[in-house]
Amino acid sequence: MIKEELLIGGRWTEAGATIPVEDPSTGETFGALAAGTAKDIDAAVKAAQDALRGAWGKATAAERGRVLAKMSALVAEQVDTLADLEARDVGKPLKQARADAVALSRYLEFYAGAAD
């Protein structure tokens, strides 16, 4: 589930290094995250600027709202997985992590509606 790559410009890119992800309640390393470099940051900023000059920048509020609605649905489908990762990553109770994941889906849904 945890990707050790960077998503830049819609493509997964290998990172030069990784950062271990540890469960603070056990000290167990259960994954690794990509560690971006200054070059990676520059590439990400350029990709964001290109996106704003392209289709995303030309999208209407309603079109952007539909993207947020889709994101909301995807988060809702993965609530349990996201909650498990969040609980392990920061050591919070699973019940609270689940509530946070549900809230994220609802926030995205709210802003999707607001964009209409």
pLDDT tens digits along 66-76: 999 999 999 99
First to last CA, the chain: 33
Structure tokens given for 90: 């920061």
pLDDT reading at 50 higher than 70? yes
- pLDDT recorded at residue 48: 97
pLDDT reading at 36 higher than 80? yes
pLDDT band at 51 (very low <50, low <70, confident <90, very high): very high
Q: Which 8-state DSSP code applies to residue 31?
A: E
Confirm if 79 and 98 have CB atoms less than 8 A apart: yes
Of 89, 84, 116, the closest CA to residue 101 belongs to 84
Give mean pLDDT, residues 47-56.
95
Q: Which 8-state DSSP code applies to residue 18?
A: E
The span from the CA of 34 to the CA of 13, in Å, is: 9
Burial class (CB in 10 A: 0-12, 13-18, 19+), 93: exposed
pLDDT reading at 1 higher than 60? no
Give mean pLDDT, residues 4-11.
94
- pLDDT recorded at residue 116: 81
pTM of the predicted model, to two decimals? Answer: 0.83
